[in-house]
Amino acid sequence: MEAPVRPRIVALFGPTAVGKTAVAVAVGRALRAAGHDPLAISADAMQVYRGIETLTGARDALDQDELEHRLVSVLPISETCSAGRFAGMAHEEIDRALAAGRTPVVVGGTGLYLRAALTELALRPPAPPEIRARLEAELAADGPRALHARLAAVAPWAAARIAPADRSRLVRTLELHELGELHEPDPDAPNRLWTDDVRYPTRLVGLVRDRDQLRARIDLRIDAMLAAGAADEVRAAVAAGVSATARKAHGFEPLLDGDEDRMRRDTRRYVKRQLTWMRKLPGVEVVDLTDDPDLDLVAARIVAPLLEG
């Protein structure tokens, strides 16, 4: 029987407020104790931006000095960062780290961007800017439910998979329809949400908590963000000129409108989507952080497959 391939990368995935940064730091300690040189690489869609670090949670990574992080606070907030662009950035960081003998610890909460970092993501062509601009304008004028109804009329199978509140997926799916790139998937085809074609052997770990505990942590996290000036960050970003991509950061629009309750509701809905995505990942080992276990013991369990043999 062929021996399993030893992982070269640790990938930590989990919902907002689950405690990913703390686990990543503990994993870094465990790797260093075993003679490895760890490097954290963020796979978060919004933490790449400078200027909204409090809102995106990037401040957690920047305010600690135990584990070096890359792809955090690296792009001007005026720039667009598609999954394709991010994939190139992440692949470069991972390849460079491995070539230097380091052990990448990829940390993400966004399914698409985690997949972009770890796999050869098959990306459909971007839409012409005028199509995106028109759909964004229609979204602002008519609201997401109107666009969802339009999608349901032309591709009911696609509309059934997208929540009316998921603005970015609505716009992208309507773009694909207009480009003739929207096709109903074959039910017998392999799951395209995640493929096994990771670029390097990867130890994939999903972090979870009890629902009530996670909800309480979300509220505490949002309270801390607000106290630290997240609303001021949002207003400053708008004044400086913010890209449509950066405006999709969770909480951006509600804070701009002064609607903290909506920010909390939207965050809870987003966390549900993150957990749904994680449950569909083949090969993921779920680690339950409920009741705050000793993170050094958790980290030792996570890194063990990298040290065997």
Dig out the tokens for 136 from the structure: 């964004």
Average pLDDT of the chain, as a whole number: 88
Q: Is 15 annotated as a binding residue?
A: yes
In CATH, which superfamily holds the domain spanning 9-122+195-307?
Answer: P-loop containing nucleotide triphosphate hydrolases (3.40.50.300)
Q: Is 111 annotated as a binding residue?
A: no
- The type of residue at 123 is L
Q: Is 143 annotated as a binding residue?
A: no
Give the closest residue to 15 by CA, choosing from 196, 253, 276: 276
- The confidence band for 50, taking pLDDT boundaries of 50, 70 and 90, is very high
Condensed to tens digits (0 to 9), the pLDDT of residues 288-309 reads: 999 899 999 999 999 999 997 5
CA angle 74, 79, 81 (to 5 degrees): 75
Q: Is 17 annotated as a binding residue?
A: yes
* Res 196 pLDDT > 60: no
Q: Is 16 annotated as a binding residue?
A: yes
Longest dimension (CA), the chain: 61
Pick one of 3.40.120.10, 3.30.70.2740, 1.20.1250.20, 1.10.20.140 as the CATH number of 129-179.
1.10.20.140
Domain ranges in the chain?
Answer: 9-122+195-307, 129-179
* Res 48 pLDDT > 60: yes
* Res 190 pLDDT > 50: no
Q: Is 229 annotated as a binding residue?
A: no
Residue that the structure tokens 């770890």 belong to: 118
Condensed to tens digits (0 to 9), the pLDDT of residues 257-273 reads: 999 999 999 999 989 88
Reduced 3-state DSSP string for the chain = CCCCCCCCEEEEECCCCCCHHHHHHHHHHHHHHCCCCEEEEECCCCCCECCCHHHHCHHHHHCCCCCCEECCCCECCCCCCCHHHHHHHHHHHHHHHHHCCCEEEEEECCHHHHHHHHECCCCCCCCCHHHHHHHHHHHHHHCHHHHHHHHHHHCHHHHCCCCCCCHHHHHHHHHHHHHCCCCCCCCCCCCCCCCCCECCCEEEEEEECCHHHHHHHHHHHHHHHHHCCHHHHHHHHHHHCCCCCHHHCCCHHHHHCCCHHHHHHHHHHHHHHHHHHHHCCCCCEEEECCCCCCHHHHHHHHHHHHHCC
pLDDT at 188: 44
Reduced 3-state DSSP string for 198-237 = ECCCEEEEEEECCHHHHHHHHHHHHHHHHHCCHHHHHHHH
Q: Do domains 9-122+195-307 and 129-179 have the same CATH topology?
A: no
Average pLDDT rounded to a whole number, residues 74-86:
89
- For residue 231, the tally of other CB atoms under 10 A from its CB is 19
